[in-house]
Structure 1
Amino acid sequence: MRGSTDVQISRVDWLVVVIYFALVFIGWFNIYAAVYDSQAPQSMFDMSINSGQQLVRIGISVVLIILIMVADYRFFENLSLYIYMLFILILIATPFIGKEVNGQVLSIGIGSLRIQPGEFAKLATALALAKVMERPTFDMTKTNDQLKAFGILFLPVALILLQPDTGTAMVYFSMFLMFYREGFPQKYYILGIGFIALSLLSLGIENNLYLAIGIIAIMVILILMGKKTWQRIVAFSLIGLGMIAYSYSIDFVVSKLPEHQQNRIMVLFNPNIDPLGVGWNVTQSKIAIGSGGLMGKGYLEGTQTKFDFVPEQHTDFIFCTLGEEFGWTGSLVVIGLFVTLLIRLVIMAERQKNRFSRIYGYCVISILLFHFMINIAMTIGLFPVVGIPLPFFSYGGSSLWAFTILLFIFVKLDSSRSQQLGRIS
């Protein structure tokens, strides 16, 4: 038994572990910087401020890591569907027993100890997908199997949208990256990208008349080029009418969204529409990052940070603190750590000896990649503000613990791969 444990420890991917702790502690230092007050400085270990509270959460994360690493790797596979069903029940109960903040019911708990079930449900969904899709007969090109996978994925999405929490719900769609690896037909991705591009075009063009004029102009060009066959003109006309109808439908859907979500979409396409109102967060975020220059202003020297120009700077906008105080260089280091982590996880996923571990590994990659890309894009104005934290970096217990468990279950599965049955395909 001792020898078996030693072998597992020797197989732990320590590069992933090192990067994890590097990101966690860099994030912790930046959380302190985000709440630092030069007029009344406090120790970063002070439990009355965010950095002290986050240190406790980091300590709990270490305990969670130890528990995961000493557990039998089969535990996660055998209980995956039960874990999924448990969190589905919790998500159903959340609107009734949860705490409402800003019109959203996102957390449950007792007293000051609260968690966001939506964060942990990502982990449960990844485990359930891996369990269902691991069967040798499962084929992502078959409609029945596709419906099973979609059902597992979309059930928590629907429940989270009821809270409502659009940002967290969006994260689940990142698992289509895993579906792609497992053979989901490429044509659907091309179609999906086309709809996303058309949606962005529809939102970006203020008057749908311009879209219609553009389509007519393309038709005229085709005719002048000799493309006069009626079949092509009719086909293009139908496509054009479909595009216009879709554009109006997108406008209709957006008009039914809550006002704050409409404002976030407006700011994406026109950041200067209301720089002192709805555009404040993004405008100040870009100022903070841009003012850092090449090397930054220095640790605890960020003026945007000190004077609280950027709201939620210790959570969703934590990247602003990094950019302002450590500049382009510091930002590049952190981005490099995330990219290295993701590349390493891909290598780990591809070397697994069964489908469960590989599929779960790609779910981990998909979730981390989505959070990493969207959070940074959000802070520099390339994506609407949707409240997505930067993994291992942002302040908060639920996100840190959920990401930690998500990652280290995969580290555990990878370290035990020599003991797993070969069910890879």
Structure 2
Amino acid sequence: MIDFLKKVDWFSILLYALLVFIGWLNIYSATYTGEGGSILNSDTFYGKQLVFIIVSCFLVIILLSVEAKFYERFASIIYLASLLSLLGLFVFGKNVNGATSWYAIGGMTLQPSEFAKAATALALAKYLSDIQTDIKDFKDLLKIFLIISLPAFLIIPQPDPGSALVYAAFFFVLYREGLHPMYLLIGFFSIILFTATLLFGTIWVFLGSALLLGLAYYYLKRKKQRVTILQLIVVLIVTTTFSYSVDFIFNNVFEQRHRDRFSLWLRLEDDPVKLNQIRKTIGYNTYQSESAIGSGGFMGKGFLEGTRTKGNFVPEQHTDYIFSTVGEEWGFVGTSAVVLLFSMLILRLIFLAERQKSAFSRIYGYSVASIIFFHFAINVGMVIGLLPTVGIPLPFFSYGGSGLLGFTVLLFIFLKLDANRINEWM
């Protein structure tokens, strides 16, 4: 037991503990009403979160006690169980705030999508380590796509598009494991085309694409590269078709609230009165969050001293918008410290992943780092107004038992695998 404790990466555990503790302090500040009482009071959000933290400590002990090979040996079964838990929501799920994403267990609720991320990471690591080759074969790509997309497709209709979006993080893992950079470039240009279509329209996207392809043809010919006009025409047709589909989906498939969010984010609405109405409704959370963070200045207003936090200006401030509490009460110094802690944890996980002796452990480690990074980047970007509003919590910070337990499972399975790396070849 002593030898095992020496092998565990205590630096990652320290970062985890700091993030959880600082997160709890900000939940306490965001929901404290000034009335006395125990911090374990189950009628308060901070009391419930502290109970979840205590449960997480016991969960950590269990996760580190399980034989490391168990996670690899039963990865497929764990993944199938997670899919069944997501399917079961359509029959037994509880509707909360318009989403059927929880099971009601006694007086508590459990969100299976928070645990499905770890299950998918295990299944992906299992499959990639079994094929033991670069990701080039089409059949392998199809199977990998199914492993990643099946949970997302089950989560979207709950509806919970934010949780489904997180599965895009696995493409970072695939790139590390040999996925051709072309796929990432396609994804990158798809985002550019999506944004450009909303900003300028399909006709201007067509004209701009034709101009860029013409310049590319001229440049490649001068470099004596093999390229034909037919190839460029095919690219132009694909680009225009994608742009047209974006325009069609935006206007005919998206709900009005989704269109309003993009209109606010990209400033698509020309009418200042309409734009102001959107800001007060769809963009209200982000506007108040930006104001709260900006009011914190360099040093912040102090713990429990945030006037906007105490005034409940920011809706859902203890969940998705918890970072605004950090900004108001701890200022630029506090937000920088939180960003630094997350960055250190992510970089540490990448370092640990690279030193693994087995492909399974390395791939799972990169999955953990990618998921945490994706959650962190999207949540902070949303809170400060750089990205449109999506329901993605801040790992270890946002209130919620399922979220905290899910990220604890995700992280400590990898720390167990890392502690066992010396025995992987034995």
Provide TM-score, normalisation by structure 1.
0.91
Q: CA deviation at 1:89?
A: 0.9
1:109 paired residue number: 104
Determine the C-alpha separation between the residues in 2 that align with 1:372 and 1:223.
40
Q: CA deviation at 1:220?
A: 9.7
SS in 2 for 1:100: strand
Q: CA deviation at 1:151?
A: 1.5
Establish whether residue 360 from structure 1 lines up as the match of residue 357 from structure 2: no
Determine the C-alpha separation between the residues in 1 that align with 2:172 and 2:214.
39
Q: Judging changes above 3 Å, is the alpha-carbon distance between structure 1 residues 242 and 412 closer, same or farther for their aligned structure 2 residues?
A: closer
Q: CA deviation at 1:16?
A: 0.2
Establish whether residue 305 from structure 1 lines up as the match of residue 309 from structure 2: yes
Summarize the alignment of residues 107-146 of structure 1 with structure 2, pairs less than 5 Å apart.
107-135=102-130, 137-146=132-141
Establish whether residue 72 from structure 1 lines up as the match of residue 67 from structure 2: yes
1:14 paired residue number: 10
Summarize the alignment of residues 308-319 of structure 1 with structure 2, pairs less than 5 Å apart.
308-319=312-323
**Unaligned stretches of 5+ in structure 1?**
none
Q: Mean Cα displacement is larger for which, 258-267 or 52-61?
A: 258-267
Q: Judging changes above 3 Å, is the alpha-carbon distance between structure 1 residues 42 and 203 closer, same or farther for their aligned structure 2 residues?
A: farther
- Which deviations, in whole Å up to 9, do the C-alpha atoms of 1:190-215 show, x marking residues without a partner? 1111111111111233x444445655
Summarize the alignment of residues 35-184 of structure 1 with structure 2, pairs less than 5 Å apart.
35-38=31-34, 40=35, 43-135=38-130, 137-184=132-179
1:407 paired residue number: 411
Letter in 1 for 2:16: Y
Q: CA deviation at 1:224?
A: 12
CA RMSD of aligned residues (A): 2.5
Q: Mean Cα displacement is larger for which, 235-244 or 303-312?
A: 235-244
Q: Judging changes above 3 Å, is the alpha-carbon distance between structure 1 residues 216 and 124 closer, same or farther for their aligned structure 2 residues?
A: closer
Q: CA deviation at 1:56?
A: 0.1
Determine the C-alpha separation between the residues in 1 that align with 2:75 and 2:211.
55
The 8 Å contact of residues 173 and 366 in structure 2, kept in 1 or not, is answered as yes
**Unaligned stretches of 5+ in structure 2?**
222-226, 269-274
Letter in 2 for 1:267: L
Q: CA deviation at 1:176?
A: 0.7
Determine the C-alpha separation between the residues in 2 that align with 1:144 and 1:221.
36
Q: CA deviation at 1:126?
A: 0.6
The 8 Å contact of residues 199 and 247 in structure 1, kept in 2 or not, is answered as yes
- Which deviations, in whole Å up to 9, do the C-alpha atoms of 1:65-88 show, x marking residues without a partner? 001112211111111111111111
Q: Mean Cα displacement is larger for which, 27-36 or 134-143?
A: 134-143
Provide TM-score, normalisation by structure 2.
0.90
Determine the C-alpha separation between the residues in 2 that align with 1:185 and 1:209.
31
Determine the C-alpha separation between the residues in 1 that align with 2:60 and 2:44.
25
SS in 1 for 2:104: strand
Residue identity over aligned pairs, in percent, reads: 43
Determine the C-alpha separation between the residues in 1 that align with 2:415 and 2:208.
51
Letter in 1 for 2:257: H
Q: CA deviation at 1:275?
A: 2.1
Letter in 2 for 1:190: L
Q: CA deviation at 1:158?
A: 1.1
Q: CA deviation at 1:295?
A: 0.5
Q: CA deviation at 1:41?
A: 5.4
SS in 2 for 1:106: strand
SS in 1 for 2:376: helix
Q: CA deviation at 1:42?
A: 5.1
Establish whether residue 265 from structure 1 lines up as the match of residue 262 from structure 2: yes
Determine the C-alpha separation between the residues in 2 that align with 1:170 and 1:222.
33
Determine the C-alpha separation between the residues in 1 that align with 2:261 and 2:249.
14
- Which deviations, in whole Å up to 9, do the C-alpha atoms of 1:367-405 show, x marking residues without a partner? 001001000001011112111010001100001000001
Establish whether residue 32 from structure 1 lines up as the match of residue 32 from structure 2: no
Q: How many residues align?
A: 413
The 8 Å contact of residues 138 and 145 in structure 1, kept in 2 or not, is answered as no
Match of 1:328 among 332, 335, 346: 332
Determine the C-alpha separation between the residues in 1 that align with 2:213 and 2:190.
21
Determine the C-alpha separation between the residues in 1 that align with 2:113 and 2:182.
30
